[in-house]
Structure 1
Amino acid sequence: MDETTADRVLGGCRIAILGITVVIQLSLSLPRLTGAESRSAFVALGAVLVVASWWVLRGRPVPWPAGVIGTVVALTASAVASWAVPPGELFGERHWVFGLVGWHLLVLLLDRPVAAVAALGAQLVLDVVRLVTAAPADRAEISGVVIGGLSVITFQLATLALVRVVYRRAGEAAAASAERDRLLHRKALAEQREADQRSRFAGQLGTTLPLLAGLADRTLDPRDEAVRRRCALAATQLRRLFAENDDVPDPLVHEVSACVDLAERRGLTVALAVSGEPAPVPTEVRRELTGPLMTALVAARSQARVSVLRTGDEIRVAALTDGEPEPPVNGSGSVDVEWHTLGERSWMEAKWRSRPN
């Protein structure tokens, strides 16, 4: 079930009521026609059904202007047919329009319950007025007509109420189904995200575990500069990986700041400059932008300057350090990385364009 289920259910109810009205008019009312006035009223009611079916059979409600005009025509036809019946035969075999018009009103006003109730009440008033204006009419006869009219209208009102209840229940069921689908979708996304995180952590630990094992069995000397760099790089990679899972407005700057923070904990003096408005950057691209930065910061001896520049559809992450990375990191197909050595300084820039030429 989706958002249109309730509308489809209501459309089916409209078609069902239209079919009921057509059957009643043709099978029960047509054989009882007498006189030109009755035939004119019958044709007018048939025209109302034909016009209404243009929208009903297409699953759409009758528009409000057409509904108002159709209601006026139906009530007028009812009055004409009722006044054409002789007083002594009111609400008998010749009074074919009695009760029929209420179904026409439901076809026209099913989507507007208040207007439908008012129109059915107007139809009952017309029947009572016709009886009162006929002579003679005693209280017993009036009471019988009122009871009969109320019985017919009550059944039609019950039909209207039932349709509205079914429509409301269908809407609630559709909303519940949509909410369930959203929850299942969120659950699937969460499970996929958790699986991706486990995969990334496993991949990261795959490079870290040999380092830890070497330190544990003393095959690696923590006093060795290369080993310390490996440890610093592994720690920075893990710190950036943790930052990747944080829910923040600017993930790229957040991950760059995580790398800078760990470098500062190692004693480096790092200056970070950010310019430009935040822009959406895919996770894989953020990893490729921050990968060379981590290598540059790990190689720095005492200080570094890091900048994040965002202009239009281009994002750059650059670092100027007083150390030379070994080995330099190359860019992928989506991220271009440049490395330059300037005397005792090393300059790195990773560049990504959101809309490649």
Structure 2
Amino acid sequence: MGEPAIAAEFLYHLRIAVLGISGIVLLSMSWLRSVGAYRPLWMQLVAYGLLLGIAVVEGVLTLRRRSWGGARWAGVALALAASVLSCLSLPTGTPTTAADWAFGSVGWIGVVLLLDRPMVQLVLFLGAHWAITAVNLVLSGPVDEGAVLNFVSGSLGTIGFPLACGVAATALRATAGDAEAARRQTEDIRHSERVAARTAQALQDSYAGLAGSAGPLLRGLADGSLDSNDPDVRRDCWIEAARMRRLFVETDDVPNQLVHELRQYVDTAERRRVRAEMSSYGTAVDPPPEVRLALGNFPLPVLAGARSWARVTVVFTSEFVSVQVIGDCGAIDLPRPGDTAATGAAAGIEIGSFLDADDDTLLMEAKWRRTGRSPS
């Protein structure tokens, strides 16, 4: 479960191969050729049943792509118990011969149980199985040179092959882990490139929008067609100055870009002696760039028209992002959700307002729902 995706897939197919080898070894039933020599026979039957049962459980788990979990250690104990039972009922002088079928089978069952575990655990298991057979060889009768050579040569296959399979599995996991890390790195690079492209496009759109709104204003002031003492002109100049300041910080590396950009507007409002405040609540997660632009521009009319005070509040929840602004600006023209200039063509932004006519306090809220659905 904790393996990287590529390693887990490789290990799954290796698991099928090891199960196939174990099944072929067990189903060959080589012990039937010596069934009349075992004393008592029931020990061999129990040993064979234990190993076959482990193989069947492994087959079911493999089909379901499940692991043994903590039950693997019970399987390890049963496999070693099968090794002991088989040794106890072998005829004298037959350890490591054709009658000792468990010597060549138990090791593969160990690989089945410990394929996805550290290599040292498989080595310990195979060592325990090898030691059980060696002790039985010594205790079962006189040990001559032929018996020792037969035991050593038999160990090369019955212990060496499962051990080699474990080494291959360890190397495969390491290689697949490197491949998965390289894949994630490549994906991160691609994601960074996509983000950079979107950021560059957003900056280009922002500069284009600023040129379209600030350009006529500057030309009007230059040719005298606009009066710098006109409150509406002064408000428009303040709005363009705030937008320009936001544009300068658009590429800053900060935890939350929306809050960072809104602070620029609040700071700009303070420069014209408005008591402006800002607060945010919830876990800050930036919306898409076009939505962030729309939410960021939303408080500008209130901040620009506020006479003495204003407050901006940003609320982040798992369902929506809300930007609320309140100030003593009186009645102003409200942006409409379908207005491209007001919302940056960002679908799903709801706008509401409340005006207290007694003190000219205006409360406005823009809410973007994370589902992306447009309000009905």
Closer, same or farther: CA 291–264 of 1 in aligned 2, 3 Å: closer
Q: Which whole-Å deviations, capped at 9, do the CAs of 1:301-355 have from their partners, x for residues lacking one? A: xx6322335799975423336xx89xx322434223466888xx96543234678
For 1:305, the equivalent position in structure 2 comes to 309
For 2:176, the equivalent position in structure 1 comes to 170
1:202 CA displacement: 0.7
The answer to whether the 8 A contact 1:288-1:331 is kept is: no
Aligned length, in residue pairs? 341
For 1:157, the equivalent position in structure 2 comes to 163
1:40 CA displacement: 4.7
Closer, same or farther: CA 183–250 of 1 in aligned 2, 3 Å: closer
For 1:16, the equivalent position in structure 2 comes to 17
**Is 1:329 aligned to 2:333, yes or no?**
yes
1:30 CA displacement: 5.3
**Is 1:58 aligned to 2:64, yes or no?**
yes
The farther-off stretch of 94-103 and 74-83 is 74-83
- Residues 1-357 of structure 1: pairs in structure 2 closer than 5 A: 3-27=4-28, 29=30, 32-35=33-36, 37=41, 38-65=44-71, 67-112=72-117, 113-139=119-145, 141-214=147-220, 218=223, 220=225, 225=230, 230-243=236-249, 246=252, 254-255=260-261, 257-262=263-268, 265=271, 268-274=272-278, 277=281, 283-284=292-293, 286-296=295-305, 304-308=308-312, 316-320=324-328, 328-333=332-337, 334-337=350-353, 347-352=361-366
Query: Normalised by the size of structure 1, how large is the TM-score?
Result: 0.77
1:199 CA displacement: 1.0
Identity in percent? 30
1:99 partner SS: helix
2:207 partner SS: helix
What amino acid does structure 1 have at the position aligned with 2:327?
A
What amino acid does structure 2 have at the position aligned with 1:293?
V
1:79 CA displacement: 3.5
Q: Which whole-Å deviations, capped at 9, do the CAs of 1:268-293 have from their partners, x for residues lacking one? A: 43222446747758625533532312
The answer to whether the 8 A contact 2:96-2:154 is kept is: no
1:103 CA displacement: 0.8
Closer, same or farther: CA 62–237 of 1 in aligned 2, 3 Å: closer
**CA–CA separation in structure 2 for the residues paired with 1:271 and 1:350:** 18
1:269 partner SS: coil
Q: Which whole-Å deviations, capped at 9, do the CAs of 1:154-180 have from their partners, x for residues lacking one? A: 222111111121122212322321232
> What is the root-mean-square deviation of aligned Cα atoms in Å?
3.8
2:28 partner SS: helix
What amino acid does structure 1 have at the position aligned with 2:23?
V
1:140 CA displacement: 5.2
The farther-off stretch of 118-127 and 310-319 is 310-319
Q: Which whole-Å deviations, capped at 9, do the CAs of 1:78-119 have from their partners, x for residues lacking one? A: 334344443344433333333222111211222334332222
The answer to whether the 8 A contact 1:309-1:317 is kept is: yes
Closer, same or farther: CA 278–124 of 1 in aligned 2, 3 Å: closer
**CA–CA separation in structure 1 for the residues paired with 2:98 and 2:133:** 15
**CA–CA separation in structure 2 for the residues paired with 1:144 and 1:117:** 22
The answer to whether the 8 A contact 1:5-1:170 is kept is: yes
5+ unaligned residues in a row in structure 1: which ranges?
298-302
For 1:300, the equivalent position in structure 2 comes to none
**CA–CA separation in structure 1 for the residues paired with 2:325 and 2:266:** 12
1:87 partner SS: coil
Closer, same or farther: CA 254–341 of 1 in aligned 2, 3 Å: farther
2:325 partner SS: strand
5+ unaligned residues in a row in structure 2: which ranges?
338-349, 370-374
**CA–CA separation in structure 2 for the residues paired with 1:211 and 1:231:** 7
What amino acid does structure 1 have at the position aligned with 2:301?
P
**CA–CA separation in structure 2 for the residues paired with 1:149 and 1:3:** 34
The answer to whether the 8 A contact 1:248-1:254 is kept is: yes
The answer to whether the 8 A contact 2:90-2:100 is kept is: yes
1:252 CA displacement: 6.4
**CA–CA separation in structure 2 for the residues paired with 1:292 and 1:87:** 99
1:136 partner SS: coil
Closer, same or farther: CA 287–337 of 1 in aligned 2, 3 Å: farther
The answer to whether the 8 A contact 2:274-2:308 is kept is: yes
1:207 partner SS: helix
Closer, same or farther: CA 241–49 of 1 in aligned 2, 3 Å: same
